[in-house]
Structures are given as structure tokens and as C-alpha cells.
Amino acid sequence: MTTTTLHPISAAAPIPLKALVPWAILGTLLFAMLLYFVGAEQGATSLVSGHMVHEFVHDGRHLLGFPCH
């Protein structure tokens, strides 16, 4: 009969805050852009002419509670 011995694995090193800041900024900017295009595009602050963006995010706009028509 063989015996298996498990050795404890060392704890993972914490991620330094300086390494997380750029990813947090990128995530915040992407979220803000997504929120703008879903919630405000095709209105008074439209950046893209036409209705393509509006039609693309139409169902998501209603799902999130934004009125559009």
C-alpha cells in the first residue's frame, strides 16, 4: 500500500495596486462608452449620424430601462 503526502501550496502573492490601476481605468472608460452608446446616442449629443447605433442597441436600451421612442 502506498501513502500519498500532500504538501501545502504557498499562498498566491497579492497583486500590487499599481498594476490594477490601468485596468480599472480601462474598464471604467469602456463601461462609460457602453453606457453612452446604449443610453444617450442618437439624441441631442449624437456622435454618429444615422440610426445604425440606435438600431444596434435598441433591445439593450429597453432592457436597461432607457426610453428611446
User: What phi and psi, each to the nearest 5 degrees, are found at residue 40?
Assistant: -125, -15
Instruction: List all residues 6 or more positions away from 59 whose beta carbon is below 8 Å from its beta carbon.
Output: none
Domain count, the chain: 1
Is 4 part of a structural domain of the chain? no
Is 6 part of a structural domain of the chain? no
Nearest to 52 by CA among 60, 41, 44: 41
Amino acid 38: pLDDT: 78
Amino acid 30: pLDDT: 96
pTM: 0.61
Q: How does the average pLDDT of the chain come out, rounded?
A: 81
Is 11 part of a structural domain of the chain? no
Q: Is the pLDDT of residue 15 over 80?
A: yes
Helices (H), the chain: 17-39, 52-56, 58-63
Amino acid 55: pLDDT: 77
**Residues 18-51 pLDDT 10s:** 999 999 999 999 999 888 877 776 666 677 777 7
Residue 16 in 3-state DSSP?
coil
